[in-house]
Chain A
Amino acid sequence: MQDAKSRFSISREGTVSRKGARKCPPASGPGFQAQTLYFTPGPGAAAAADAPRGPQALLQPPCLPVFWDDIFRRPPERVTEAFTLFCLKDLSQERACGWLKVVGMRQGTMFARGLKRKSAEDGEDVEGGLAGTQATPSYSLQRQSLLDMSLVKLQLCHMLVEPNLCRSVLIANTVRQIQEEMTQDGTWRVLAPQAAGRAPLDRLVSTEILCRSVREQEGERPAADVGDGRTPGLVPGLSAVPSAQALRSPQSSLWEVDSSRENRGGFQKSLDQIFETLESKTPGSVEELFSDVDSSYYDLDAVLTGMVGSTQSGHGSGLQAFTAAATPPPGSSCRSDLGELDHAVEILVET
C-alpha cells in the first residue's frame, strides 16, 4: 500500500489526482453514496480492462455488492469529516488500480472500518437482495461488522492489565444479542466440513477462514482437555488451569449460553484461534496481535487466504505466517513476555 500511495497525490480538498486519471459517474451501494471514482493504471500495471474485476465492474449491478464488500474489507486510506477514501486493488491485491471517494456514509454502517462478509454462500442471496430492497444485505453486513468489532473488543479486554468488568459485561451482552438474532434469522451457520481444504481465491475471507485454518491445525495441537466436551479449545495449553475452573469469566458465557444451539462451532473456533496465539512461541507476534489489532486483524485474511489448502507442518507455522504478515515486532521494547500473558489469561478464567 505504501507503494500505491506514493503514486497519487491528495489535494487539500481531499481529491485524489494523478495524471491520466479519469472520473467515473457516481455509483451507489448499500447505505452510502460514492461520489467520485478515480481509476488509473499504475506504471507497469496491467491495463484495467484486463483485470477480471476492474473498476468498471463497479457500475454493473450483479457485481456491485460483491465488489463493495471487497473494498470495504480493508481499512480506508483516509477518513475525514467529509469523505472516506478507499484504495482499490487489483485481484492479486498488490497494486492499487484506483481510488474510491465516498461521501455521506451513514453513521452506523461501519463500512469505514472494513467488515467481513458472513459467508461465501451469499452470492445468490446478495443478488436476490439487490433485486429486492437494499436494506437487508446492508443490515446483516452491519450486524456482522458489529459482531466482529465486539469480538475484537472482548479480545482487547482480556489483554488489558485489569479488564473493566462493566465494559466486558456490556460487550458480551451485545454479542449474545447479535448471536441470538442471527440464530433466529438462520444466518448463523456452522461450517460444512467439506469446505475445509478448498482454497478459492476469489472467495471473500470471513471468519470461516479462521475456523478452517484452526481445524486443519487441530491434528497437531495438543488435545487440551479443558472443561467439558462442549468447549474443548477455549484456553488450550494452560496447564495451570484446572478443568473445573475453565470457564469462569464473563466472556465464557458467550460459549455456554447457546450450548443447545448447533451453530456455535464457527464462532467458538474463531475465538479459539485468538486464544491460541497466547501460546505462541514468538512473543513478538503476540505483542503484534494485541498492540495493533485493527490492521493485523484484517491482514490475517490475506495471510490465511494464501495459507489455506497448503500443507501445515504444525500450528506453529500458522503463527509464523501470521508473524510474517504483521509488521516486525518492536523487539527490545516488547515488554510482555509469555509469563505475564499466561497470568493475564489465568485472570480471565478465575473468578
Chain B
Amino acid sequence: MAGAGGGGCPAGGNDLQWCFSQVKGAIDEDVAEADIISTVEFNYSGDLLATGDKGGRVVIFQREQENKGRPHSRGEYNVYSTFQSHEPEFDYLKSLEIEEKINKIRWLPQQNAAHFLLSTNDKTIKLWKISERDKRAEGYNLKDEDGRLRDPFRITALRVPILKPMDLMVEASPRRIFANAHTYHINSISVNSDHETYLSADDLRINLWHLEITDRSFNIVDIKPVNMEELTEVITAAEFHPHQCNVFVYSSSKGTIRLCDMRSSALCDRHAKFFEEPEDPSSRSFFSEIISSISDVKFSHSGRYMMTRDYLSVKVWDLNMESRPVETHQVHEYLRSKLCSLYENDCIFDKFECCWSGSDSAIMTGSYNNFFRMFDRNTRRDVTLEASRENSKPRASLKPRKVCTGGKRKKDEISVDSLDFNKKILHTAWHPAENIIAVAATNNLYIFQDKLN
C-alpha cells in the first residue's frame, strides 16, 4: 500500500494512503462568487459536515449509514439540509454594506434529537436548530386534511389524531440572533467546553456570550487603542480551550498568541501567557511582519498543544512553553522569494486555516494550486496532495505532488511559476474520529478518505 503512490510519503499515522471519495459542487469553469465556500466544519460525531459560502448559505451533508452490502465503501456524505443563514444587509448609519459571507460555522455538542450550530458573518451570529420531521399528524378535529377550518357545529364526534410517517423533512430554524455587538469584522467564534457560552472575536475585541441570552454580551478583550492612529496590531483568531472553560487564546497580526484566563479578571487585557517566537534577523525583509501574521489558531484535541498558521508555515506550540514553538512545518517555503509579487496581487493577505487529526498525530493545511499539505508529527513526514477533478475517480489514490524550486524540473513536478494562485485551499476540516478530510477548493468540496488496509 505504501508504495502504491509512486514513492510518495504517506501522511497520517500507520502509512495512510489518501484516496478520493467525493466532490460536491458545480464543474463549470465560471465560478459564481456566491458559491465560493468560506468555511467547512465537521460536527462532534463527524456524521454531519457543514459548509458556508459567500452567498450566506449553509449546506449540511450527512454521512450515510454503512451499507452491509458494500462493506468496503465507507458512508458517503449527501446533502442533508440547505438554508440561507445570512442575507446581505445595509448599515444605514455608516452607509456600508454588510457582506452575507459566512465567516465561521461551529457546531454545538448534540444534546437531543436536533442539531445546533452557530454561523456568523461579519457582524451577526445566529444559532440554528436543524431538526428532522418524519411523521405527520392526521385526523385533526378542528381542521380538514387540507387545512381548512371545519365548522364547529358540524363536528359530531371526536377523534384522536394519529401520527403517520412521511418523507423525511429537515428543517432549519434560527433560534437566536446575536447582533449589534461588533463594530469590526467578526473573524472567529468558539463554543466553550461548558456548552453554555461562546466567544466571538473581531479585529479589536472579543465578546463572551451566553447561548440563551441575545441582548447582552460581555467584552473580555479589547485591544483598541484610545487613539486609533496608534493602531498597529489586530486580533486575527480566537479559540476556547477544549477542556478548561476559563481559558482561551487569541492570535494577532504580529505573530503573537496570548492565552487568557477568565478567572483572573473580567477584562482579560492582560494575558496569562504570551507566545512569540523571536524573529530570525537573517531573514528580515519588509514583508516579515505580514508573513508572520497568524491566520488561524487551533487547540489540539488533547488540550496540551495549539497550532498556529502564518503565511509560510504551521507551528505547534506546547502550552507550557512560551518562548518558541515545539514544531515548525514549512508549507510552501518556495514562495519566500516571491513575496513581493504576492504582496502586489494581495495573495500575501490570504488567510489559511489549519486542522488537527482526531488523534492529534497529524496536521493539515492548504496552499495554492489546490494543493494541501499534511504533516505527520510522529514520523516527521509530510506530503503535498492536490484536490482536482482529474484525480476524481472513486477510490483513486492521491498521488503526492512536488513543487520544483529551481534547476531542472523533473517529470510530474510543477514549477513555482506555474502555480495557479487563484486556486487556493483556505478551508479544510478533519473528521474528529476517522481519517476523513474535507477540503474546500473555491466552489467545490472534496472529501478524501484513507484506503482501508
Contact = CB atoms under 8 A, between A and B. Distances in A.
A247 interface: yes
A60 interface: no
A107 B185 contact: no
Contacts, number: 91
Interface in B286-309: 286-287, 289-290, 293
B236 interface: yes
Nearest to A143: B286
Interface stretch (A3-11, A63-71, A84-92, A171-179): A171-179
B151 interface: no
A107 B337 contact: yes
A149 B341 CA distance: 11
Interface in B378-431: 417-418
Interface in A225-255: 247-250, 252-253
Interface stretch (A122-130, A161-169, A197-205, A303-311): A161-169
A108 B96 CA distance: 36
A337 to B, nearest CB: 12
A178 B287 CA distance: 11
Contacts of B289: 170, 173-174, 177
A249 B340 contact: no
Interface string B234-257: 101000000000000000010000
A146 interface: yes
B96 A161 contact: yes
A-B pairs, 4 with minimum CB distance: A108-B340, A343-B95, A253-B229, A165-B203
A165 B185 contact: yes
Contact of A248 (B228, B253, B290, B346): B228
Contacts of B231: 169, 250, 253
Given A107-B337, A166-B253, A174 B94 contact: no
A340 interface: yes
A184 to B, nearest CB: 14
A170 B293 contact: yes
B270 interface: no
Given A81-B417, A162-B185, A248 B344 contact: no
Contact of A146 (B97, B204, B229, B286): B286
Contact of A149 (B95, B233, B344): B344
A110 B340 contact: yes
Interface in A132-182: 142-143, 146, 149, 153, 161-162, 164-167, 169-170, 172-174, 177-178
Interface centre among A142, A161, A343 (most CB of B within 10 A): A161
B341 A108 contact: yes
A113 interface: yes
B94 A252 contact: no
Given A256-B229, A343-B95, A174 B340 contact: no
B228 A165 contact: no
Contacts of B96: 161-162, 347
26 contacts: A108-B337, A110-B340, A153-B346, A161-B96, A161-B97, A162-B185, A164-B185, A165-B234, A167-B346, A167-B349, A169-B234, A170-B293, A174-B289, A177-B286, A248-B227, A248-B229, A249-B228, A249-B229, A250-B231, A252-B228, A253-B230, A253-B231, A253-B232, A340-B95, A343-B94, A347-B94
A173 B287 CA distance: 10
B338 interface: yes
Given A107-B341, A161-B97, A248-B228, A166 B286 contact: no
Nearest to A142: B340
Interface residues of A, number: 37
B343 interface: yes
Contacts of B94: 343, 347
B98 interface: yes
Identify which of A162, A167, A178, A253 gathers the most chain B CB atoms within 10 Å of its CB: A162
Nearest to B204: A165
Nearest to B341: A107
Given A178-B286, A248-B228, A170 B253 contact: yes
B253 A107 contact: no
Interface string A94-111: 000000000000011110
Contacts of B290: 170, 174
Given A170-B290, A249-B228, A162 B234 contact: no
Interface centre among A166, A177, A351 (most CB of B within 10 A): A166
Nearest to B349: A167
B230 to A, nearest CB: 6
Interface string A332-351: 00000000100110010001
B49 interface: no
Nearest to B232: A173
Contacts of B418: 81
A250 B341 CA distance: 24
Contacts of A162: 96-99, 122, 185
Nearest to A109: B340
Contacts of A108: 337-341
B218 interface: no
A166 B95 contact: no
A134 B184 CA distance: 46
A244 to B, nearest CB: 11
Contacts of B204: 165
A164 B341 CA distance: 20
Contacts of B287: 174
Contact of A250 (B228, B340, B344): B228
A183 to B, nearest CB: 15
Given A174-B286, A351-B228, A166 B236 contact: yes
A252 B228 CA distance: 8
B344 A165 contact: no
